[in-house]
Structure 1
Amino acid sequence: MPNHSARHSARVHTADDGCFRMRVIGSELLRVAAVAVLVGNFVIGTYQRSPVHTALIGGYLAVTLLSLFVAARRPNAEWRQPLFVLADAVAILLMLFMHAGQGPLDHGHALTPPGLVVVFVLLINAALTSDARHVVRFSSIVFVGWMSIIAAAVANTGLGFSEALIDAEVQRELGLALSFGVTALAVYVIVREYAETATAAEAARRRGSNLARFFSPTVVDQLAGGENLQLQRRKVAVMFVDLRGFTSFAESAVAGQLRHMLSEFRDIVSAAVVRHGGAVDKFLGDGVMAVFGHPAPRADDADRALACAVELVGELEQWRKREEAAGRPALRAGIGLHAGTAMAGVLEAGCHSEYTVLGDVVNVAQRLQAVSMSVGATLVVSEELKSAAKTIGTLTAWRNAKAVTIPGRKLPLDIAYV
């Protein structure tokens, strides 16, 4: 199961990297398009050309080539996007000043259509970063600078405030600047909404990935959707699996041995639990607690729990023999299984909320696991579990014991063991 999770994570990361590369490539292509528009405007434009035009185009071409180089070498550098978005904004302001700030507002000095295209192309480029902060920085610098340039150009004409407002050329420039501002606001809202949606989707994906390590697919869907999580009473089957002699082993074992043993043990148990439609409630050091019947109760919860436990008897013994054959430390396991009514769901506890199962059924299952050693068995099940399971007699040959004393419990229990 961990290998499956690793492959799933690898596929997700590969897809994420692919999307990121596409955004980076798209961003750089938009800068190339902006340069192409500037060059075209310079070649076929009707305004009077000057060294300023050449310097602007050459400078922005250098910025574009630099951004291409950095994107290829350091695509994940945190400073890359803020730096070049700022460079885009500065280039826009220089272009606006070149067109509207060097003379009276007339057709010879107004912003030409190709130049207007560059403004909106680079706004789209800021949006491609998927970061609303970059959109705010770019659009704020451009909008404030644009309005300032218009105000400076109006001041050069000597027009009063009221006269400027009714001047056709001023109205056109103000209209373009305000159109940019409204468009930038709309782009900001879209990018922010996209970012929030993407964040929520990533959180849901990670939550689903974490849940998938311990729950069956049908249970994961319910948990991820927020269903059946409230603490409530219900019939469940609870299983405890524990490694015998682990405490003594841990006193002298090296870290690598402990890590290997616990990892293998947990993988085997949790994989079996998920295969049988159960859920790993928690890991308790060298023990595993699993529950069948929550959050998705089924009529055959007891049967599936019993089938899982019987399967684990064989799997854990095979694992022990493999470890011994490989010359590694190997321990036997004990399993306790009980059925009854429990409180199951999410237990709120301040900053930490836990999905768990509580009640006497849990305590009894844990005690039965301890009883397994005293009766010389690997698996011990209660009479309640036997009564609830329809397949108890078909899975294996059972030995029975009546009125067995359970540590920490006043009333004895009838049990079956193997």
Structure 2
Amino acid sequence: MLTGEKEFPIYHIKVHHKSSAIADIPLALKKELDQLKFSKRFRNLKPGASIAITAGSRGISNYTLILKTIVKTLKEWGYEPFLFSAMGSHGGGTAEGQQEILQSLNINPETVGCPVYCSSEVKILEEIEWLGQKIPVYCAAEAINADGVLVVNRIKPHTSFHGNYESGLLKMMTVGMGRAKGADRFHSLGATHLADAIPLIAGQVLERAPIVGGIGIVENEHEKTAIIKGIPFEQIVYEEKSLLLEAKRLMPKLPLEHADLCIVGEMGKNFSGTGMDTNIIGRLRIQGIPEPTTPYFTYLGVLRLSEPSHGNATGIGLADFTTQKLVQEIDSKATYLNCLTSGFVIRSAVPMTFNTDKELVQGALQALKYDGSGGIRLLFIKNTLYINELWVSKAIYDELKDKEEIELVEKLPTIPFDADGNWI
């Protein structure tokens, strides 16, 4: 029990990062679109041309506003824009599942001002030979049938591999627009080949689909929109590489490198494709791929599954401990499909499960052989997307307290559990 000699104080702190964000999203976006309008493929479009805009499953900051502004601007230019689902196997790969995800992100015809199409239909653009095998290049049928395609996505480090192209416009073309079949074929190549496969497959999509350009989005440490870049078709490959470097520079990082126990309050697809961002928790759990050296947490616990995940608990296997409340929310079908598609099946494995948050912490302290003598390094974060607010034990606080960016909000006598054993 966390009573008597085993109680220890918890410090509620905030981390203040100095970073800039775009103040007027529509204005900045319109400036980029105005430049994009005069690019070669946009100039070739005739009045009334249909333009397909990618709609993904990620919780991008200002996502609805960005899509709405794009749609409004394209309409003003005389085009007929529409959104189409481009999210790989997410949503179970079905039209209904995709629509549910987009609705949870507040993306629908009423909010964006144009039709939103969801389906699993794809066409094969080409078949390429690589690694001694033939690889079909899939693309959403709505994109192929449109007069033009505008690819919109956030550019950021990936949670399963690293290279010149990770999460971004090229991956949206490779996996998102490839839908369930494309995602499955991509991941079948194996984790060690994914970084090289993205430009290879996306190159075929760029060449054979009516891509007119892209809108690249980069977010800062606070997950606010920091960069919006309109990129002509012929510059996407070059520009995305530069934007990824900027995204890595701006990506949020915890102010510490190791802890005995890290508790994540909530995991989910709206926070990361892996439920918990592997760059934040320092875990991959991909067979054949070395684990990151930092950050390093001896044990990792996760307490809840977010509602926007719709039961998809991909990434639960990254944790060592979880709660019965989270396990009861798991949709095994959606979770297994996601992990079978990626091939990273251990990420769906349910870890040691406890009835309450308090019992989870007690179990972790038992595994750590904590005897109440002090020095325990404990960290609590709400999720892996918003990490500017932390709850830490004294050992960690003493390490961080003199840093300029650290603010002490409150010192608590012990871990704040309610009467039901839930972390408050």
**TM, length-normalised to structure 2:** 0.20
Higher RCO (C-alpha under 8 Å, 6+ residues apart)? 2
**TM, length-normalised to structure 1:** 0.20
Higher helix residue share? 1
Higher strand residue share? 2
